[in-house]
């Protein structure tokens, strides 16, 4: 939620105009929030910061204000996903102190802002916005009178903040520095030659810097064009960072649209390559084997996540049940307080999070850890908070995902979790070695299977989407292993095409939901090649069709059973374990093309942000 970027440079040392570099970075952060945006800079010799900001999309604001043309070599910028205060010009970041000598950008929520604001108003500070963020520059201003040192005032301010924050601050007092602090909201540094960046995410500066330091909770400090200083706020001492500098291998194409109309369709098409990378990661080190050992030793296993990642976690719980006969409790991360009560030493929690920063998942992790449980993370972002705080980190290695709707990261989570479940089932005796090898062989073949699937299904999905785009409600039904896929299909459609979509176990639809079905109502059946095939096609499909529903199936049918469906999105026949790998892609395409047919931007769904760092 919200993207921040800052750049400080020696004049003349940057490959492009500094404000243009920041503007480009801001555009790459737009997936984090896009209801308003702004830029603050310190023009050479100025005694005030210059702030340009407003409500609207970054491109529109660029036309209005010329973000990319501001003067100065020390610049911070922000793209907002509103929490406190409506998206308005005034509430947009950056925010300043009374004397406009400093500007800050913030991602997160300051929980104690009401008390702080009152205290500051009583001391005569004048607030102009409704945001929680605005207390920060005023508090620093207040402390600066006392300490006469901007960094000390900044540090002391951060110490009183409660909640989550990633902050970047510029001040005319020390005009070549950007001060930063992080707690429970992501923040990274990008190192250049004669310039340095601070940002919410790596793609923001990837065009200009591949040397990255991922900041940790309670770290504060500053960058100058040639230096980095990091301190641990809790220990009150500086932190060595040279061993933490990582070189990022992603190409800028990974974080660009590369000729596609949207990131989402590019990322759907990238899935075969992403799966290849996941497989290389799985077979390239022994962390999956270590995870199996931890799981074999567990009294109880839980899996938690949010949104799409939860669907992957739910799939894992079904696999463990079916392949190994081992129950795994899946729960939605924001409900952790219900489940953590029963957690104890000997339990294992698996946390699935592509970003590794989702606050609900992080809170679940911390609650279980506190009770002595061991935690295994599955994430796409190396060094992010969730893998860092876990006992063992597994990675999907799908590359950066910029589209707000998760696509390639879901498929790679499914592959990684299938691998984990099969390895566990083999080790615990649920699968023989030939059975396990058979499934692993198909998992290894999944990049090829998905490449072929794209050409098999794209046109059909596109045609169906034209029709779907005129509908207002859709059901996604399945049984067993197909259910997480149905849930994922429904989530994709509602989040980017704004069509009401619900997923149900097909058998459950008779117990209420079928009341909504009338002539022409679309029902999408996810049809896995498992034992439930006949129940689905001869039972549930017929029930729906008898009420006028149009039955669409994602299926690999070569038999007469296929005739039961009105429209088939064909997928290759594989072992049932691979169902999410084969059946999800057609549903992603339907969501994408339906959104496009409705004239919507699938990369920027309303009200959503890619990483949810508020509870
Ligand atoms: C849906 C989507 C979200 C995320 C959820 C969890 O397309 O992207 O539902 O899956 O916010 O995010 P991570 O996986 O980063 O924890």
Q: 395-438 pLDDT, tens per residue?
A: 999 998 988 899 999 999 999 999 999 999 999 999 999 999 99
| pLDDT value, residue 559 | 62
List, by residue number, the catalytic residues. Answer: 2, 610
Helix (H, G, I), strand (E, B) or coil at 86: coil
Q: For residue 320, how far is its CA from the centre of ligand 1 (angstroms)?
A: 23
Q: Residues 11-19: what's their mean pLDDT?
A: 95
Task: Name which of 12-26, 67-81, 213-227, 529-543 the model is least confident about.
Answer: 529-543
> Measuring CA to CA, how many Å separate 321 from each of 421, 431, 505?
9, 12, 17
Q: Do you find a cis peptide bond into 523, omega within 30 degrees of 0?
A: no
Residues 487-536 pLDDT 10s: 999 999 999 999 999 999 999 988 988 889 999 999 999 999 877 778 88
The stretches of 476-523 forming alpha helices (DSSP H) are 483-497
Residue 612 near ligand 1, beta carbon < 6 Å: yes
Residue 579 near ligand 1, beta carbon < 6 Å: no
Q: For residue 600, how far is its CA from the centre of ligand 1 (angstroms)?
A: 20
Q: Residues 9-14: what's their mean pLDDT?
A: 95
Ligand 1: which of 185, 307, 412, 605 to mutate, judged by most atoms within 8 Å of the beta carbon? 307
Q: For residue 258, how far is its CA from the centre of ligand 1 (angstroms)?
A: 23
Residues 326-377 pLDDT 10s: 999 999 999 999 999 999 999 999 999 999 989 999 999 999 999 999 999 9
Q: Are 368 and 313 in contact (CB under 8 A)?
A: no
The per-residue b/e assignment along 48-67, b for 16 or more CB within 10 angstroms, e otherwise, is ebbbbbbbbbbeebbeebeb
Instruction: Give dist(CA 331, CA 333) in Å, integer.
Output: 6
For ligand 1, what atom is nearest to the CA of residue 386? 16
Residue 308 near ligand 1, beta carbon < 6 Å: yes
Q: Residues 526-547: what's their mean pLDDT?
A: 85
The mean predicted confidence, pLDDT, of the chain is: 93
Tell me, rounded to whole angstroms, the distance of Cα 506 from its chain centroid: 29
- What's the predicted TM-score (pTM) here? 0.84
Question: Facing residues of 328 across strands?
Answer: 301
Tell me the helix, strand and coil percentages in the chain, rounded to 5: 45, 20, 35
The stretches of 287-407 forming alpha helices (DSSP H) are 287-296, 307-319, 336-339, 359-370, 385-389
For the chain, domains (ranges, CATH) are 3-108+165-255 (3.60.20.10), 261-444 (3.40.50.10490), 451-615 (3.40.50.10490)
For ligand 1, what atom is nearest to the CA of residue 305? 16
Residue 354 near ligand 1, beta carbon < 6 Å: yes
Residue 255 has pLDDT above 90, yes or no: no
Residue 353 near ligand 1, beta carbon < 6 Å: yes
Question: Facing residues of 230 across strands?
Answer: 221
For ligand 1, what atom is nearest to the CA of residue 409? 14
Residues 165-186 pLDDT 10s: 999 999 999 999 999 999 988 8
| Local confidence band at 442 (pLDDT 50, 70, 90 cut-offs) | very high
Residue 254 has pLDDT above 80, yes or no: no
> Measuring CA to CA, how many Å separate 410 from each of 44, 117, 383, 417, 610?
47, 42, 19, 10, 14
| pLDDT value, residue 614 | 65
Instruction: Give dist(CA 430, CA 424) in Å, integer.
Output: 8
| C-alpha angle 531-490-400 in degrees, rounded to nearest 5 | 105
Which of 496, 526, 506 minimizes the C-alpha distance to 601?
496
Q: For residue 298, how far is its CA from the centre of ligand 1 (angstroms)?
A: 27
Residue 307 near ligand 1, beta carbon < 6 Å: yes
Q: Residues 578-584: what's their mean pLDDT?
A: 97
Minimal-distance CA residue to ligand 1 atom 16: 353
DSSP 8-state symbol, 205: T
Residue 405 near ligand 1, beta carbon < 6 Å: yes
Residue 560 has pLDDT above 70, yes or no: no
Residue 255 near ligand 1, beta carbon < 6 Å: no
Q: Are 27 and 604 in contact (CB under 8 A)?
A: no
Residues 62-92 pLDDT 10s: 999 999 999 999 999 999 887 777 889 999 9
Q: For residue 562, how far is its CA from the centre of ligand 1 (angstroms)?
A: 33
Specify the pairing of strand 301-305 against strand 348-353: parallel
């Amino acid at each position: 939620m919200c993207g921040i970027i800052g750049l400080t440079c020696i004049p003349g040392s940057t490959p492009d105009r500094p404000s243009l570099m920041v503007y480009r970075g801001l555009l790459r952060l737009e997936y984090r929030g896009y209801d308003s945006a702004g830029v603050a800079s310190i023009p050479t010799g100025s005694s005030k910061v210059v702030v340009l900001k407003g409500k609207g999309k970054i491109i529109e604001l660029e036309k209005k204000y010329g973000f990319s043309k501001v003067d100065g070599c020390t610049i911070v910028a922000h793209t907002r996903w509103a929490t406190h205060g409506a998206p308005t010009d005034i509430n947009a970041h950056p925010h300043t102190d009374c004397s406009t000598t400093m500007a800050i950008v913030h991602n997160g929520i300051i929980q104690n802002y009401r008390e702080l604001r009152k205290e500051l108003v009583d001391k005569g500070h004048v607030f102009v916005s409704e945001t929680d963020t605005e207390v920060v520059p005023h508090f620093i201003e207040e402390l600066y009178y006392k300490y006469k040192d901007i960094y000390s005032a900044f540090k002391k301010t951060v110490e009183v903040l409660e909640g989550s924050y990633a902050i970047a601050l510029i001040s005319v007092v020390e005009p070549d520095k950007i001060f930063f602090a992080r707690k429970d909201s992501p923040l990274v540094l990008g190192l250049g030659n004669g310039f340095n960046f601070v940002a919410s995410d790596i793609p923001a500066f990837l065009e200009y810097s591949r040397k990255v330091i991922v900041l940790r909770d309670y770290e504060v400090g500053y960058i100058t064009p040639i230096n980095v200083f990091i301190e641990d706020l809790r220990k009150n001492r500086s932190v060595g960072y040279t061993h933490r500098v990582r070189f990022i291998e992603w190409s800028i194409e990974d974080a660009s649209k590369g000729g596609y109309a949207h990131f989402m369709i590019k990322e759907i098409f990238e899935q075969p390559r992403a799966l290849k990378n996941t497989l290389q990661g799985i077979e390239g080190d022994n962390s999956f084997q270590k995870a199996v050992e931890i799981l074999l030793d567990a009294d109880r296993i839980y899996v938690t996540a949010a949104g799409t990642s939860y669907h992957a976690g739910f799939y894992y719980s079904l696999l463990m049940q079916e392949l190994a006969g081992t129950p795994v409790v899946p729960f939605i991360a924001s409900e952790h307080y219900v489940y953590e009560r029963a957690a104890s030493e000997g339990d294992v929690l698996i946390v699935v999070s592509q970003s590794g920063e989702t606050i609900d998942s992080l809170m679940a992790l911390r609650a279980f850890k506190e009770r002595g449980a061991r935690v295994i993370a599955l994430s796409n972002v190396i060094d992010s908070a969730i893998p860092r705080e876990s006992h063992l980190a597994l990675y999907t290695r799908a590359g950066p995902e910029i589209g707000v709707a998760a696509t390639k990261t879901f498929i790679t989570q499914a592959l990684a979790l299938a691998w984990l479940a099969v390895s566990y089932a083999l080790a615990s005796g649920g699968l023989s070695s030939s059975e396990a090898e058979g499934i692993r062989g198909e998992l290894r073949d999944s990049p090829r299977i998905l490449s072929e699937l794209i050409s098999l299904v794209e046109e059909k999905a596109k045609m169906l989407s034209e029709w779907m785009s005129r509908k207002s409600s859709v059901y996604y039904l399945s049984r067993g292993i197909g259910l997480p896929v149905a849930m994922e299909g429904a989530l994709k459609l509602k989040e980017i095409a704004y069509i009401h979509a619900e997923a149900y176990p097909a058998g459950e639809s008779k117990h209420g939901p079928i009341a909504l079905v009338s002539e022409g109502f679309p029902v999408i059946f996810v049809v896995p090649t498992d034992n439930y095939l006949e129940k689905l096609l001869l039972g549930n499909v017929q029930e729906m069709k008898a009420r006028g529903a149009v039955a669409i199936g994602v299926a690999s049918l070569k038999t007469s059973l296929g005739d039961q469906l009105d429209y088939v999105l064909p997928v290759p026949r594989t072992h049932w374990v691979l169902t999410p790998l084969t059946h999800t892609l057609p549903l992603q395409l339907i969501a994408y093309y339906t959104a496009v047919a409705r004239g919507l931007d699938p990369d920027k769904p309303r009200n959503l942000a890619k990483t949810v760092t508020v509870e």
